[in-house]
Structure 1
Amino acid sequence: MEKTGFTPSDFDVFTIDGLENRMEALREQIQPKFKEIGDELTAELNRLTGEDMHLHIAKHLRRTTNPPNDSWLAVAPNKRGYKKLPHFQLGLFDDHLFIWLAYIYELPNKSEIGQAFLNEIEELKSLPGDFAISTDHTKKSAEKLQDLDEEALRAKIERFRDVKKGEFLIGLQLNRGDARVENYERLKETAITTYETLLPLYRHSLNI
């Protein structure tokens, strides 16, 4: 059976009313695709990082009322979890797909990583201009690097460093309907290229 990327009907899962109905669609429609592409991305990240990387697929088990507005896969060098580590994500909101290197609020050494990013801000500024930065993984909003001057970029990093719930996610956002999203091989290639570009940043943050 030919592998497919994410089609409009996949994004429409996030418009289904009710927790139970949306979760059923996520399990049947989205999570098998996350597993398929996630296995390949994990194998590639094993090669790129030289680490034993592990695939995690969001299960949203803590939700009891509100259905999730997004869902994702994560790849990290720990079999038991990923939230306390720098990790790679690929996931969906209803209108776009994201490919992130993610540093979320549960990181124990968030302030040290944030300061290291400030010290090496030229490395961040040299990344592709169409890369975006998010400061909250639960929100759709993100800003492209090409639209941020150094002062604005520093402010985002400082918030990540200093605010308990501050986060820092960097990578690509692709609109639903984008050819790179709907074609499996192009999506896989785009994700791998994105992760490869972010690899120096990932490695730098592991050495802190």
Structure 2
Amino acid sequence: MLFTKEHFTIFSIDTLDERMAQIRVEIQPVFQQIGDAAILLLEEFYQTPFYLHIAQHRRRTVYPPAETWAGIGPNKRGYKMDAHFQIGINADYVFVWLSVIDQPKNQQIIAESWLNAPDLFSALPADFVISPDHTRYETIPLTEWAASLQRLKTVKKSEYQIGKIFPKDQIDQTTLPEILAVYEALLPLYVQRNGIKEMESIER
């Protein structure tokens, strides 16, 4: 079983310890299930190992997390130093992203590489959206992909997350293949993130 409507109620638990206990028991096993399946997909395409990093929120001492997530990338030590795949949940929806957050060193290269590949954005499903700030729930339409990338290129502390959200009122009907289809659709962007050099390494 994947996410259910009951998972969203976890974010109404008031205390840090109680909310984290429920996240570990109820949500993190779903992250593991989705992550394992996604890694098989990514490794088959990319021909390199990928790793699942489930957020533990260890720095929190008082306030419980408003959302929780897992990152997927080819670096065993972490995932935020490059564009990476995410699966996560907050009180309103499940999100499946290709994410650029926390100012990776290649942020400008990623932005330039994607700006030079408009056809990749045209090929994405129309129900994909962009999140320009992972701390806010608002999203913007896919049609604004270029303006958001210009900001990623020029503003150091900017972010860029692209993918699909699954609202809580539809989550009971969401299947694992639907989630994996999001990652599959985002793979060409992931390959493009470092431009021609990255694409040539995959082709070899």
* TM-score higher than 0.5: yes
Query: Displacement of 1:196 after TM fit?
Result: 1.1
Unmatched segments (≥5 aa) in structure 2:
199-204
Query: Displacement of 1:80 after TM fit?
Result: 0.9
Q: Which residue identity does 1:182 align to in structure 2?
A: D
**Deviation digits for residues 183-203 of structure 1 (CA, Å, limit 9, x no counterpart):** 5xx532012211111111100
Unmatched segments (≥5 aa) in structure 1:
none
Alignment of 1:158 onto 2:150? yes
Q: Which residue of 2 aligns with 1:102?
A: 99
Q: Which residue of 1 aligns with 2:137?
A: 140
1:74-85 equivalent positions in 2, closer than 5 A: 74-85=71-82
Paired residue total: 196
Query: Identity percentage over the alignment?
Result: 38
Alignment of 1:33 onto 2:25? no
Measured on the aligned residues, the alpha-carbon RMSD in Å equals 1.6
Q: Which residue of 1 aligns with 2:89?
A: 92
Q: Which residue of 2 aligns with 1:201?
A: 189
1:148-187 equivalent positions in 2, closer than 5 A: 148=143, 152-178=144-170, 181-182=171-172, 187=175
Query: Displacement of 1:112 after TM fit?
Result: 1.6
SS of the equivalent of 1:44 reads helix
**Runs (4+) of structure 1 moved beyond 6 Å?**
none
Q: TM-score, normalised by structure 1?
A: 0.88
Q: Could you tell me whether the CA contact under 8 Å between 2:31 and 2:54 is conserved in 1?
A: yes
In 1, distance between residues paired with 2:45 and 2:107? 24
In 2, distance between residues paired with 1:37 and 1:9? 18
Q: Which residue of 1 aligns with 2:113?
A: 116
Q: Could you tell me whether the CA contact under 8 Å between 1:54 and 1:77 is conserved in 2?
A: yes
**Deviation digits for residues 61-113 of structure 1 (CA, Å, limit 9, x no counterpart):** 11122211111121100111001121111110111111111111331110121
**Deviation digits for residues 116-164 of structure 1 (CA, Å, limit 9, x no counterpart):** 222223322332211000111222111221xx3xxx4332111111112
